[in-house]
Structure 1
């Protein structure tokens, strides 16, 4: 039986998602300088919930002061941020209920060697000593504190009223850095073998699971290759997470859902297929990367994944999810678009500036 974008999605825990199109977590520089919720950030996310997302997820929110990775990054490392988080969760719930009934989540992150001391005021720390970036290797005790920081942030998000959190284990941030087989040669159980390099991510998932309620949904975002990660290691980790009983969905960031693996040994195959073929035991698999319309999203489902995450398309049109679910021929507006167009879609000025600086073909 063919799965369609409009089909509801059941997760191992918590509420059903109304369909198969979710918002990808997107860096946007819109929080206040201290990391608290801004009106720009609130408006951007609420508008996507109004547009019918099955899951409306925040940008990467740092779980410790030392983990800040970009200006205007949302912070979840202290109770001082609870009022803004509570407001955001409540507003997203209201907007989602008025639309297609979607769910809400905060992506949890620590920058590690990609953190910015000039913003945080804290030294840069990571999985290994790195003279080039001025990064100091975390002690074993500090690694254990990282676990505690992720757990505390997840509990804080649950208190605020979100349906779940996602662990950012991708894109070269701290949890992903520990997976790097080129550089992580730690001898304390958190480096060396693939099993030990993935220990931090697996411990964070297990401890978040233990500390949160039975209906709180926990996802993990993975980078499938590069960043010192071999494809065989990433697929094995995805399968291990799915079998753990701790995780409610996997989010694999492919950059382009139709791309081949980077490793020459897998030439002629598609990266998406290596993950879709995994035994997942009822844990849904989502993919992200160049999904700009209904046809691309349905193609992913036909390959065997369970949902898609949209990024650029959701920037260009706030209601892309509702449109994709309703119209099998829908294709998002193609960039470049004007600043006025983005403003009308509740993309704040700081987000627009970030897009214009970092994506040369998006803002006219």
Structure 2
């Protein structure tokens, strides 16, 4: 019987000690140039010490034009290598498998780093200009180069961020991506950049580099049927070690009425996956919900909110399957005791109304 404490092995890279991973969480604690700060190091290493089988960084920009917001980690050049090496070694020493999430903001960047953002299509409202075919091909290689840098730093693997409306997800947008080249129009063309990035990273890294992909199953102009088809393709390809489905709520039913006969998760767990593992994220706050996700067919879960509230959420669930995350909001002192630094605390206080009690 699979339980949260069950180890999880992969086609490539190290096995995880359990089925509970830390989700990639925006924390705004990096230095202005994308180098690692002490606060970010301590935040992540503390989660490794807290028993998470795998610890993943926040979304890390793969190039200057992909830099999306202040305080974001970078994995784009030699200036980032020392900090990334420190982090990878710290996570390993604390007992966790390590991963870095590779991201390009595209039209979702906040504009302060480059006044002209890039996107699959022209978007005057976002001050974004359409990428040429050659520029798209260059971005594919930037993802591969970032993965090589992560490997050099000692990370066990990387996750390609194809979700949440960032650049790769923008290409999937059936509403707006009407490009006339090989990257737009038909579903196969809109999927193309995902496959090319996966292939490029796989070619550029070693045989033990553990590779994941994050997708959004709905929203962002991506119909559920197309999400399911893309998921089926990448699961069957054997090129990934895991697929991370970011559902916002792992227990919800789809937004599209014609697909509400079963949960969103169940639309993906029936897909053939061979040796590729399937993970799910979204409002998993208790040991019972971890078990429910696994029982529904997921191979592992990715924990966001509960991992902020409890650095040792994974260890607590492994020890006590009935563990329940503390109710929100919590005090600022609670957050500080959980190694949430000042910048992260400010972000949680000002951007979310259910995390931190008003002082």
Which range, TM-score by smaller chain? over 0.9
Q: Which moved more, 1:55-64 or 1:236-245?
A: 236-245
Which SS does the other structure have where 1:17 is aligned? coil
Please report how far the alpha carbon of residue 246 of structure 1 lies from its aligned counterpart in structure 2 after TM superposition: 1.3
Which SS does the other structure have where 1:271 is aligned? coil
Q: After superposition, where does 1:27-106 map in structure 2 within 5 Å?
A: 27-96=26-95, 102-106=96-100
Please report how far the alpha carbon of residue 31 of structure 1 lies from its aligned counterpart in structure 2 after TM superposition: 0.1
Which SS does the other structure have where 2:83 is aligned? helix
Which SS does the other structure have where 1:296 is aligned? helix
1:202, 1:30 → 2: CA distance?
31
Please report how far the alpha carbon of residue 123 of structure 1 lies from its aligned counterpart in structure 2 after TM superposition: 1.9
1:111 paired with 2:105, answer yes
Q: After superposition, where does 1:331-342 map in structure 2 within 5 Å?
A: 331-342=324-335
State the TM-score, normalizing by the size of structure 2: 0.98
Please report how far the alpha carbon of residue 68 of structure 1 lies from its aligned counterpart in structure 2 after TM superposition: 1.2
1:301, 1:157 → 2: CA distance?
30
- Asked whether the 8 Å contact 2:238–2:274 carries over to 1, the reply is no
* Alignment equivalent of 2:229, drawn from 231, 236, 253: 236
1:154, 1:81 → 2: CA distance?
13
2:279, 2:58 → 1: CA distance?
17
Aligned equivalent of 1:23: 22
Aligned equivalent of 1:227: 220
Q: CA RMSD in A?
A: 0.8
Please report how far the alpha carbon of residue 293 of structure 1 lies from its aligned counterpart in structure 2 after TM superposition: 1.1
Please report how far the alpha carbon of residue 268 of structure 1 lies from its aligned counterpart in structure 2 after TM superposition: 3.4
Structure 1 regions of 5+ residues with no counterpart?
A: 97-101
1:325 paired with 2:318, answer yes
Q: Which runs of 4+ in 1 moved over 2 A?
A: none
Q: Residues 70-112 of structure 1: CA distance to partner in whole angstroms, max 9, x if unpaired?
A: 110001111111011111111111112xxxxx20000000000
2:260, 2:196 → 1: CA distance?
33
Which SS does the other structure have where 1:47 is aligned? helix
Aligned equivalent of 2:196: 203
- Asked whether the 8 Å contact 1:65–1:122 carries over to 2, the reply is no
- Asked whether the 8 Å contact 2:106–2:117 carries over to 1, the reply is yes
Please report how far the alpha carbon of residue 116 of structure 1 lies from its aligned counterpart in structure 2 after TM superposition: 2.5
1:106, 1:305 → 2: CA distance?
21
Please report how far the alpha carbon of residue 152 of structure 1 lies from its aligned counterpart in structure 2 after TM superposition: 0.3
Q: Residues 16-55 of structure 1: CA distance to partner in whole angstroms, max 9, x if unpaired?
A: 1111000000001000011100011001000000001111
Aligned equivalent of 2:275: 282
Q: Residues 106-142 of structure 1: CA distance to partner in whole angstroms, max 9, x if unpaired?
A: 0000000001221x23520011111111110100010
- Asked whether the 8 Å contact 1:66–1:122 carries over to 2, the reply is no
Aligned equivalent of 1:358: 351
Aligned equivalent of 1:188: 181
Aligned equivalent of 2:261: 268
The number of residue pairs the alignment matches comes to 357
Aligned equivalent of 1:152: 145
Q: Residues 232-278 of structure 1: CA distance to partner in whole angstroms, max 9, x if unpaired?
A: 11111111111222110000001011111010101232101001111
1:296, 1:37 → 2: CA distance?
33
Structure 2 regions of 5+ residues with no counterpart?
A: none
Distance 1:66 1:219, change over 3 A: same
* Alignment equivalent of 2:116, drawn from 95, 117, 123: 123
